[in-house]
Structure 1
Amino acid sequence: MKYIMTDNPKEQDIIEIRDNLIKYNLSHIELKHVKPIVIIVNDENANKIGGISATTHGNWLEISFLWVDEKLRGQKIGLKLLQDVEEEAIKRGCKYSFLDTFSFQARDFYIKSGYKEVLTLDEYPLTSKRHYFVKQLIVAK
């Protein structure tokens, strides 16, 4: 065996590692369908001013990115994006949502939106914290 370490990997190497891990993981998971959700907000000139990117997998929504242009924050654009992606996830059968954020980003926003913090990594990368959240989208009756 030959081990090769690099700080300048080829994109194809990363894709191959990811794809092989996904293939292995899916062989052990009962629900194999992962489906993306992307919602984009454009201004009147068709410029992107916000958006959210997520995937649904079984009964989980995983939010990857939520962004609103800094000049437009505080106008509930992010809240609408979050609510819309959660609503679509519920239509797809999701019961839970998962996301993470940095301490300088939107921790309080997610708490106000019903997310519960389940893990915090301190000193990430050095002076920040990384917060992990979950939310129950459908309450059991």
Structure 2
Amino acid sequence: MSAGMEAPVWSVRLEAEPDPAMRVAILAPLVAHNEAQVPNGNWGLLALTVRDAGGAIVGGLWGRTGYGMLFVELLALGPARGRGLGRRLMRDAEAEARRRGLSGIWLDTWTFQVPGFYQRLGFTECGRIRDDPPGHDRIFYVKRFADGGTGPAPPP
């Protein structure tokens, strides 16, 4: 550093009640770095909703796309559980991922949820955090489309 120039002073603060604007500010330099390394991440959102007879959302699937993959962040069915809608949501999400030209899907779940569900849908375990939360494991799954995402989604 040249004479007369002072180094920046940084401070670290625990934010007791963080708000979404803070997340945006924290994310900005990470996005800039990532885009400099791998441009055109092709970011997007995907949502499939399950609604009751009155149109209220009772569950669904929420995902994000980027770098050629779909990340399924949330899959919940609440009172609609046990009617085959989970399979339908995952099938519809895969069809949309393929329509978008993506090469696969990844997600995480816990052993107290239904990891066998994802295995039956063709997902492969690619990581595991043991005893998180205590007594259970967090499991990461991936499903890469053998055809690179150019083929049709699996049948119902």
TM-score by length of 1: 0.89
Distance 1:74 1:10 in 2: 37
Given the alignment of the two structures, is residue 44 of structure 1 paired with residue 62 of structure 2, yes or no?
A: no
* Partner residue in 2 for 1:128: 136
SS at match of 1:27: helix
Percent of aligned pairs with the same residue?
24
Larger radius of gyration: 2
SS at match of 2:91: helix
In the TM superposition, 1:53-64 aligns within 5 A as 53-64=62-73
Residue 9 of structure 1 and its aligned partner are, at CA, apart by 4.6
Residue 133 of structure 1 and its aligned partner are, at CA, apart by 0.3
1:97 to 99, 102, 105: 105
TM-score by length of 2: 0.81
Aligned residues: 140
Q: CA-to-partner distance for each residue in 1:2-54, whole Å, 9 max, x for gaps?
A: 43241515323332112221122112113332011111111111121221111
Residue 110 of structure 1 and its aligned partner are, at CA, apart by 0.5
* Partner residue in 2 for 1:17: 26
- RMSD of aligned residue pairs (Cα, Å): 1.9
Greater per-residue strand proportion: 1
SS at match of 1:120: strand
SS at match of 2:65: strand
Residue 113 of structure 1 and its aligned partner are, at CA, apart by 0.8
Task: Check whether the contact 1:90–1:138 (CA below 8 A) recurs between aligned residues.
Answer: no
Distance 2:106 2:34 in 1: 18
Q: Supply the AA of the counterpart residue of 2:28.
A: D
* Partner residue in 1 for 2:84: 76
* Partner residue in 2 for 1:117: 125
Distance 1:24 1:125 in 2: 32
State the 4+ residue runs in structure 1 displaced beyond 4 angstroms.
none
Structure 1 segments unaligned to the other structure (5+ residues): none
Distance 1:128 1:110 in 2: 17
Structure 2 segments unaligned to the other structure (5+ residues): 1-8, 152-156
Distance 1:56 1:76 in 2: 24
SS at match of 2:37: coil
